[in-house]
Amino acid sequence: MRKGKLRPGVGCKATILTKFIHPKQNNIDASHRSTVVLLSNEKKTEGRKSQECYTFRFVDGNNSDIFYAVKTHFKIIEEGRNEDFFDSVSVGEIRVEAQSKKFKEPKMKWRKSKAKRILYNALLEGIIPVDDKNFQQMSLEDVYSIDPELALYDYSKLKNRLNRLRNKILELDRRADDDLIAFNNYKKNHKPSLFSHKGFIQWQGSSAQEHLWDDLEDYVKDPSMKPMELWKSRPEYMNEFPLDAFRDKIKQEIRTAKYLHTVAIPVNDAYILRKHSDNTCLLTYPSTDYVFANNREEIASAQDDCLTDALDDELWTIHQNKTPDVSNPVPKTKNLLLVFPENVIIEWEDVVNRSLVNDENEFPGLSLTVSETHPNASGRSVGHFVYWKIGRSDIRMAMKGPVQQMRKNRLGFQFGFAGNEPSEGGGAAPDMAMF
């Protein structure tokens, strides 16, 4: 099809010499032309000859009267919809352009292409049938239409490529069945050992483990209790495990409890950082802190102290519950508006933080780059990148500037920057920021 040439299709307008129209029109001048609307592309047989024809109706005629003529006699004057062109094939929601023998595929070979991965995943998910008996349930045109990526590759090669992927999946399924049979036979012939390689019983399912679950909470709340005291508190501990092994099991169960507690936190109960304006950000955090400590009162007290320190240090000013233009859809949370001074530059970047429990649950966040406008004594900025996690939200912050000190506590990190104003002792007064 030459560039700029109008393409025939359903609904397009064309003109034709009336003498070529079938059925024949009577008493028509030989040079008379009719304006028509094309309806379909069909093969018609006149005598012994079969020819490609267009069916149509007259623009000003009766819509129920259908005529046809050999397609070479038409002159297209107005195109219809792109998806209704006759030189396209309808394949569901997209149309596959008729491909020439010299179809040029992308530089990315099929073996490593995204189209191959899409086709393979469609077979795994059952979108395209894999079983030989179901091959005819989905035509190649339907397969070709599942994703626009497939249209970048030669349609004539699709059948062989699809069959190779089907055979590969069937072979892997057969091998998986064989492996499962072999594994079941192995389990049948090799019973699990009741003792570890160190000579004492397996920890999982033991009575010592069950008792430790009951004693662990009191043990964590009492820092003065030593592992030996806990070990001697029950005969099950002493009789089933030596002290060094029991000490390792205590640490193991604490790690497990922390992990299970972390994944049990609802998605909405998270620290979420949002952009508020060019130099402010909004921090939404749960009303109850989930940091592990001896008791919640101690956590709340420590949190209040940190907020007070942040107010006093003046790197940013915290205004609690003063966010008139920002909606807070998260229930049982508090909002902090962090306002940065003029000598701090903030660069915002949209990110998405995923839930650790379910990847389908997402909530938006922001990563921000904070840099001071004045360089250090050497004339170059000293960069410092810090990554940490608060609650269920991953927050990344890049701090650029002469970082004087950083120390970590239960609620996050504390940064010290060289201030613009000298202190009373003559040195630079550090601006401390708690976050």
Instruction: Note the pLDDT tens digit of each residue in 202-241.
Output: 888 888 988 898 888 888 888 888 999 999 999 999 988 9
Contacts of 27 (CB under 8 A, 6+ apart): none
Regarding predicted confidence, which is higher, 81 or 337?
81
Contact 37, 13 (CB under 8 A): yes
- Cα torsion 112, 113, 114, 119: sign: negative
Count how many residues are written for the chain: 435
pLDDT at 286 over 80: no
Amino acid at 154: D
Contacts of 23 (CB under 8 A, 6+ apart): 67
pLDDT at 265 over 70: no
pLDDT, mean of residues 135-151: 79
pLDDT at 364 over 60: no
Residue 388: C-alpha distances to residues 119, 276, 291, 368, 391 (Å):
39, 22, 14, 13, 10
Q: Whose CA is closest to 432, among 404, 412, 398, 411?
A: 404
Give the pair of three-digit tokens for residue 33. 């032309």
Average pLDDT, rounded, for the chain: 65
Give the pair of three-digit tokens for residue 56. 């149509």
DSSP-derived letter for residue 161 is: H
Torsion of CA 11, 12, 18, 22, to 10 degrees: -40
User: Confidence class of residue 391 from pLDDT cuts 50, 70 and 90?
Assistant: very low
**N-term to C-term CA, the chain:** 64
Give the pair of three-digit tokens for residue 10. 């359903």
Opening angle at CA 218, ends 215 and 219, nearest 5:
80
pTM value?
Answer: 0.34
CA 416 and chain centroid, separation:
36
